A and B are shown apart, each in its own frame.
Chain A
Amino acid sequence: MPVEVKLPDLGENVDAGDVVKVLVKAGDTVKVDDPLLELETGKATVEVPSTAAGKIVTVHVNAGDQIKVGQLLVTLDGEATSDRSESSDKSAPSEQSTKSAPSDKSESSDKSAPSDKPDGKKSQSAAAAAAASASEDQPAAPSDGHRSVAASPSVRQFAREIGVDVSQVQGSGPGGRISTEDVKQFARSRPAPTAYAGPGAAPAAAPLPDFAKFGPVRREAMDKIRQMTAQQMTLAWSTIPMVTHHEEADVTELEALRKRFAPRAEAEGGKLTVTAILLKVVATALRKFPEFNASVDMARQEVVYKDYVHVGVAVDTERGLLVPVIRNADEKSILRLAADLNAVAAKAHARKLLPDDMAGGNFTVTNLGGMGTHHFTPIINIPETAILGVGRAEWKPALVDGEIEARLRMPLSLTYDHRLIDGADAARFAKWLVEALEEPFVLSLDG
């Protein structure tokens, strides 16, 4: 009598898990509580025991499957249980068969005698069927099995190309058939969509009141940059769980050095700004803390680590906020970075920046110090995982070795993606940044 073993309740609000390893196969005999498979539930890896005894007819799951509580794991040829009434007569209900021919429990498939009609009993052992197959040359069922995804081949291919697991998609067609449109919808509605470039998954805007009721108004179309910024910001804000750490770095020493070496930078065509120095510090930090130099791929549940360091620098232009990218910042000296920054800022103001100049960044630095801002909560430049906001350095009284001194303190605001970066990691990153700024030698010492 076939017995079904399903995934039991795993407790603690856990209702699904990933199969790490299947410990049994068809033909094995198991006792109650024998382990069937290893399951990873996000909290721990557990062994799932069998709730029945018998010989395994079919194993219904594979390593790598995501399974839910109640899902069928194996079918056993074992002791009768309460499942019997449910499973026995429903296996081959047929429009045409008017009688259930009695059949002895023969090993392999039904008899071939002409009077035989398909009956309600099941062919018991897959093992016997396998034995039969060894001795004849029958075209067999495809070994990949029928996953019965209600999607045509072209739709399945499309889903594969855009990284969607088609079996997760709800089909809107008859019988649950999945169309290309269904796949697209699914991709759009996911928390972290794979496409960032184009118009993002902005939630539909709530209808606005008629402001003219309250006083004179004037409407202006949003220009392209504004539209793009709005989309990007909305996308970032709605898909990334962001946390900001506010720090302060004592840059008294650094400022003195900066003033001292400024002429040298000017000779090389750059301006030795705080941003240029920060670029070097950040670039070095990104090599030490790879999570800040990565991207999150929720669709594929992967982290994309990058073996290059391109840093974007936010520039406020007449046209709006632009973020040109300085490539391979880790390989350049501060002087070179200063020169590059100068060049790229000039290009930005002259409206000569190309899309390519703004692509490929891993991290962004945004400096509002010039405006007098202290701390703020910058929004991550999606698909990056962190952004460093810089505020205006100010002289403040501080206690140094028991004496009150005037120290120059620069506010730093580090926003990061909490899907990938935990608080402690962010604290370490920020600490290193602060240290590198407070003790400039640290940069070459530990970079």
Chain B
Amino acid sequence: MSNPPNHTHLVVVGAGPAGYPAAFMAADLGLDVVLVDQNLNPGGVCLYQGCIPSKTYLHAAKLIHEAREAVDWGIDFGHPQVDLDKMRKWKDQVVSKLTGGLGQLSMQRRIEFHQARAVFQDSHTLILKKADAEESVLSFDYALIATGSRPNTMPHLNISSPRVMDSTEALKLTEIPKSLLVVGGGYIGLELGTVYAALGAEVSVVEAATGLLPRADRDLVELLHRRIERIFKSIYVGTKVAELKDEGTGIRAKLLGVDVPDQERFEKVLLSIGRRPNSNDLGLENTHIEMDEKGFIKVDGQRRTSEPHIFAAGDVAGEPMLAHKATHEARVAVETIAGKLALFEGQAVPAVVFTDPEVAWCGLTETQARIENRKVRIARFPWTASGRATTLDRNDGMTKLVLEPQGEQILGVGIVGVGAGELIAEGVLAVEMAATAQDLKMTIHAHPTLSETVMEAAEVFFGHSAHLYPHKS
């Protein structure tokens, strides 16, 4: 590894879904760029300890569940033999294939990549610290901070016990416990809980809000909740964990809620209570960069911080903490640095929960419309009326449209069901293109597919759904 140059035009700190696309785009635009990350290859949490490993395991989990269902269709696979070691190796292969690929792309673009930790010495200088304690100084014209986030902890839950894990630890899949308590009923807790349940653990989930996935629309979550009830042992909503105690052979959790046991014992606990931005040990106090009370770096529409030549993108720059939002923010920042007129104004950043069924939404949700006191119209198409869903034996789904009452524009789309994560893309396009219900209704969707449900939801809006008898409300 060569010594980092003393000066660069642009330095990108962090090579996750914000950092590496930024560096690649900058290089493609002809800018001189240095990319710094603590891992050997680009990828960040998303590739190493987040999106990619979890989706790899979730795919396996889905197969296990589907195999069980196949009994109803006349196919009995019996009880699957799970080789955890092989599964871990498979996951590692997936991760190295992707991270290695990024490393290659980085080299092809002749980007100076440095495996080091970066700390700001002042507004124009970084200190790069390698794992072997070797340090060097790098000055820059522009910087993009893309240091991401890490799992949140709560002081009373932060007991140092090998039985309490966070998402990173959980994805190592060292063993499948007999019982697992998932603290936090958001997407991370539900996804990981799904994996462990498929692999044989008895999973219980505790969520402080009154429902799972608190920010999603209730009608979408309802269908997910029903299925989770069948694969998890317990769902405790409106419940908090008061205390965790390691008793040697297990963890005793004290619960506070209505109609839930006071305490319960679990072999392992997964804390999935949110993530916090990595902004506290970057040396930002040596600059004029401002952060909000949660630690997110404050940025404007171009992702510029309070220092005009320093930008921030990704989880460290604010919600939603999603990889695709990070990538687009990074692009806006780099385009701005390259002198173009860019603005981050995606009106419909999609969110996908990769449980089974998947839940996905984009644009304005019904919940958000209520909070904003905004008048909207809703059109729903239940998958009980979908031909394709029936052939899949997965009628547990629904497609809903949130519409502007006057102009009938699609303001938001919400889907629960198998493949919702893929189907939502049409919704995002519809919202961004300011499509109207009429546009969706008149666009021919293939039959028999789940994508039809999007068109059929639009037909419901006009009262002409063939497969749903409209009742006057």
A233, B289: Cα distance in complex, Å: 50
Do residues A91 and B345 form an inter-chain contact, with CB atoms below 8 A? no
Do residues A118 and B219 form an inter-chain contact, with CB atoms below 8 A? yes
Do residues B225 and A112 form an inter-chain contact, with CB atoms below 8 A? yes
The smallest beta-carbon distance between B458 and chain A, in angstroms, is 11
Q: Does B417 contact A (CB under 8 A)?
A: no
Q: 9 more A-B contacts (CB under 8 A) besides A135-B274, A141-B319, A177-B407? A: A2-B373, A4-B373, A109-B210, A135-B273, A136-B274, A137-B184, A141-B365, A151-B434, A177-B436
Residues in A neighbouring B364, C-beta threshold 8 A: 146, 148
Do residues A91 and B434 form an inter-chain contact, with CB atoms below 8 A? no
Which chain B residues numbered 339 to 395 have a C-beta less than 8 Å away from chain A? 341, 343-349, 351-353, 363-380
Given known contacts A95-B378, A95-B461, A137-B186, is B371 in contact with A58 (CB within 8 Å)?
A: yes
Given known contacts A109-B214, A139-B353, is B407 in contact with A87 (CB within 8 Å)?
A: no
The smallest beta-carbon distance between B228 and chain A, in angstroms, is 11
Q: Is the interface of B mostly helix, strand, loop or mixed?
A: loop
Do residues A152 and B433 form an inter-chain contact, with CB atoms below 8 A? yes
A4, B363: Cα distance in complex, Å: 24
Residues in A neighbouring B365, C-beta threshold 8 A: 141
A133, B208: Cα distance in complex, Å: 10
Do residues A109 and B434 form an inter-chain contact, with CB atoms below 8 A? no
Binding site for B on A (CB under 8 A): 2, 4, 57-58, 75, 87, 90-98, 106, 108-112, 114, 116-118, 122-123, 126, 129, 132-144, 146-153, 156-157, 160-161, 171, 173-178
Q: Does B325 contact A (CB under 8 A)?
A: yes
A178, B409: Cα distance in complex, Å: 12
Picked from B210, B215, B367, B407, the residue with its CB within 8 Å of the CB of A150 is: B407
Q: Does B185 contact A (CB under 8 A)?
A: yes
Do residues A111 and B210 form an inter-chain contact, with CB atoms below 8 A? yes
Do residues A111 and B432 form an inter-chain contact, with CB atoms below 8 A? no
Residues in B neighbouring A95, C-beta threshold 8 A: 377-380, 460-461, 470, 473
Picked from B347, B351, B352, the residue with its CB within 8 Å of the CB of A148 is: B347
Do residues B152 and A114 form an inter-chain contact, with CB atoms below 8 A? no
Given known contacts A90-B375, A95-B461, A152-B432, is B341 in contact with A108 (CB within 8 Å)?
A: no
Do residues A137 and B473 form an inter-chain contact, with CB atoms below 8 A? no
Picked from A87, A132, A147, A157, the residue with its CB within 8 Å of the CB of B214 is: A132
Sample 20 A-B pairs with CB under 8 A, ordered by A number: A91-B374, A92-B376, A94-B473, A109-B209, A129-B214, A129-B215, A132-B215, A136-B273, A137-B184, A137-B273, A138-B187, A138-B216, A143-B320, A144-B346, A150-B407, A174-B408, A175-B406, A175-B408, A175-B434, A176-B407
Do residues A132 and B208 form an inter-chain contact, with CB atoms below 8 A? yes
Do residues B218 and A143 form an inter-chain contact, with CB atoms below 8 A? no
Binding site for A on B (CB under 8 A): 152, 184-189, 207-219, 221-222, 225-226, 237, 272-275, 294, 301, 318-322, 325, 341, 343-349, 351-353, 363-380, 404, 406-409, 411, 432-434, 436, 438-439, 460-461, 470-471, 473
Residues in A neighbouring B318, C-beta threshold 8 A: 143
Most buried by A among B404, B407, B411: B407
Residues in B neighbouring A129, C-beta threshold 8 A: 214-215, 371
Which 4 residue pairs of A and B lie closest in terms of their CB atoms, listed nearest first? A112-B211, A175-B407, A139-B351, A150-B434
Residues in B neighbouring A111, C-beta threshold 8 A: 210-211, 218
Do residues A141 and B368 form an inter-chain contact, with CB atoms below 8 A? yes
Do residues A109 and B218 form an inter-chain contact, with CB atoms below 8 A? yes
Given known contacts A92-B376, A123-B370, A160-B341, is B436 in contact with A139 (CB within 8 Å)?
A: no
Given known contacts A91-B373, A118-B218, A142-B320, is B187 in contact with A137 (CB within 8 Å)?
A: yes
Residues in A neighbouring B209, C-beta threshold 8 A: 108-109, 132, 135-136
Do residues A92 and B366 form an inter-chain contact, with CB atoms below 8 A? yes
A173, B374: Cα distance in complex, Å: 23
Query: Which chain B residue lies CB-closest to A107?
Result: B210
Do residues A142 and B219 form an inter-chain contact, with CB atoms below 8 A? no
A340, B221: Cα distance in complex, Å: 79
The smallest beta-carbon distance between A212 and chain B, in angstroms, is 52
Do residues B344 and A144 form an inter-chain contact, with CB atoms below 8 A? yes
Residues in B neighbouring A94, C-beta threshold 8 A: 377-378, 380, 473
Query: Which chain A residue lies CB-closest to B349?
Result: A142
A58, B374: Cα distance in complex, Å: 12
Residues in A neighbouring B211, C-beta threshold 8 A: 109-112
Residues in A neighbouring B376, C-beta threshold 8 A: 92
Do residues A118 and B366 form an inter-chain contact, with CB atoms below 8 A? yes
The smallest beta-carbon distance between B370 and chain A, in angstroms, is 5
Most buried by B among A96, A117, A148, A178: A96
Residues in B neighbouring A176, C-beta threshold 8 A: 407, 409
Residues in B neighbouring A143, C-beta threshold 8 A: 318-320
Residues in A neighbouring B321, C-beta threshold 8 A: 139-140
Do residues A142 and B346 form an inter-chain contact, with CB atoms below 8 A? yes
A440, B240: Cα distance in complex, Å: 88
Do residues A123 and B218 form an inter-chain contact, with CB atoms below 8 A? no
Do residues A148 and B411 form an inter-chain contact, with CB atoms below 8 A? yes
